[in-house]
Amino acid sequence: MALTDYVTLGRSGLRVSPFALGAMTFGTDPGGAGCDVAESEKILGTYLERGGNFVDTANFYTNGHSEKILGDWFAARPGRRDHVVLASKFFFNMFPGDPNGGGAGRRSIIAQLEQTLRRLRTDYLDLYWMHNWDRHTPIEETMRTLDDLVRAGKIRYVGFSNTPAWVTAQAQTMARLKDWTPLVALQVEYSLLARTVEGEIGPLALDQGLALVPWSPLRNGFLSGKYRRGGQVADSARTAFVGGPSEADYDVIEAVAGVADELGTTSAAVALAWLRARPGTVVPIVGARKVAHLEDNLAGLTVRLTAEQRRTLDAVSAPDLDYPAPMHGAQQAMLQFAGTTVDGRESTVYPPLLQSTVRY
C-alpha cells in the first residue's frame, strides 16, 4: 500500500490517503515543541510528493501558526491547494476574556471559520471538525450552522472529534431527519495504548458508516520504538507534558517491538499497521517534527501483520471498557445463543441449563 491507495472517507465521495498528515507540530509558538517553518515545509512537501492528499490542522495549533504555515505554502504554489483535502477544527478559544471566542455556537463557529480561512489563505475547507463537545450549546444549533456553511460553499464535509457517542448519535440522527449535512468521520484518540474508543464510539462509527481518524496513533511517541523499559529518551517533546509510559504500557511496547523484529521493520510501522487493520475505515493521522519521523511513519503502509501477530497485539493491549461493554461479550453470547453459533459467533451453554431438564 502507498499514500496513493486512496480510501473513501466514511459514507461520502471524498477520497483521501490512508494516512493523513497532522500539522499540530508545524510552528514553534507556543512552547517550542513543534518545528520551524523550514522543517514544516519539508515535511509537508515530502508527504505531498509521496502522493498524500489529506492534511489536518486546527485553529489553535501553535496559536494559529500551523494554519498560517500551510496557507503560505499553498499560496506560493498556485493550483496545489485544490488537489489537497484540507481539514481544520473549531472549538478552542484563542481570545482570553471573550466567552464567545470559542465553542460550537453559531456566532463562534462562523467567526472561527473566517479566521481559519484567512490564515489558510483559501476560500473553503474540505473538512471541518468540531474539536470538542460544547455542552453549553444545543447540538441542533451546531449542526444547523455547519449545514448552512456547507450550503454556502465555505466547507464541504463535517466531522466530530472528542465527542461522546450519545451526542454524536443524536447529531447524526438529527441531520438525517432534517436533511442537514451528516457527519462523515470521527477524529478520536486510538492506538494500541488507547483502545477505549472500542466501547461506544467505534461501534457507532461502524453502524453509521463513519470513518475513524485516529489522533496520536503512536500514543505521544510511546509506540515509536524509542522507549524501552529502564531506558532514557532524550528526543521527546511530549514526555515533559504527559509523563512516561506505565508498566502496563511497557508490556504493549515490548510486544510491538517483538513483532517489529519479526518483520524487520520499526515499532511505529507495526503500531500504524495494526490500526489500519481495524474494522471499518480507519485513517490514522501521522505527525512529525522531522522529515525522518514522517518517513518512519509512512513505513506503516507497507507492513502486513499476520493473523497471529494481530492476536498477540490484541491480547496484550486489550482495554478495560466501561459498563455496559463488559456485558456484551462471551457472557451475552452464552445467555442469548445457548451453545449455538450465530453469524460466526460461537457460544457456550449457561451452566444451570445443563444441570436441569425442567423448563417451566
285 within a domain of the structure (yes/no): yes
**Total number of domains in the chain:** 2
Active site residue 128: no
Residues 48 and 89 in one domain: yes
Residues 296 and 351 in one domain: no
236 within a domain of the structure (yes/no): yes
1 within a domain of the structure (yes/no): no
Residues 206 and 343 in one domain: no
Residues 160 and 120 in one domain: yes
Output the pLDDT for position 269. 97
Residues 231 and 343 in one domain: no
> How far apart, in whole angstroms, are the C-alpha atoms of residue 85 and residue 19?
12
Output the pLDDT for position 201. 98
Burial class (CB in 10 A: 0-12, 13-18, 19+), 128: buried
Residues 155 and 287 in one domain: yes
305 within a domain of the structure (yes/no): yes
Tell me the CATH number at 181: 3.20.20.100
101 within a domain of the structure (yes/no): yes
Domain that holds residue 336: 329-360
Residues 336 and 311 in one domain: no
| Residues 267, 294, 49: CA angle, nearest 5 degrees | 135
pLDDT tens for the 360 residues of the chain, in order: 899 999 999 999 999 999 999 999 999 887 657 899 999 999 999 999 999 999 999 999 999 999 999 999 999 999 999 999 999 999 999 999 999 999 999 999 999 999 999 999 999 999 999 999 999 999 999 999 999 999 999 999 999 999 999 999 999 999 999 999 999 999 999 999 999 999 999 999 999 999 999 999 999 999 999 998 877 775 555 555 567 899 999 999 999 999 999 999 999 999 999 999 999 999 999 999 999 999 999 999 999 999 999 999 999 999 999 888 888 887 888 888 888 999 988 999 888 877 877 777
Residues 201 and 280 in one domain: yes
Question: Helix and strand tally (H, E) in the chain?
Answer: 13, 10
Output the pLDDT for position 243. 79
> How far apart, in whole angstroms, are the C-alpha atoms of residue 115 and residue 95?
12
Output the pLDDT for position 170. 98
Residues 211 and 236 in one domain: yes
Annotated catalytic residue: which of 6, 47, 61, 157? Answer: 61
3-state helix, strand, coil in the chain (%, to 5): 40, 15, 45
Residues 262 and 344 in one domain: no
Residues 293 and 334 in one domain: no
Residues 71 and 142 in one domain: yes
Q: Model's pTM, two decimal places?
A: 0.93
161 within a domain of the structure (yes/no): yes
Output the pLDDT for position 236. 55
Q: Which residues are within 8 A (CB) of 321 and not within 5 positions of it... i.e. 6 or more apart? A: 196, 198, 199
123 within a domain of the structure (yes/no): yes
| Residues 247, 252, 253: CA angle, nearest 5 degrees | 85
What cell does 25 get? Answer: 507540530
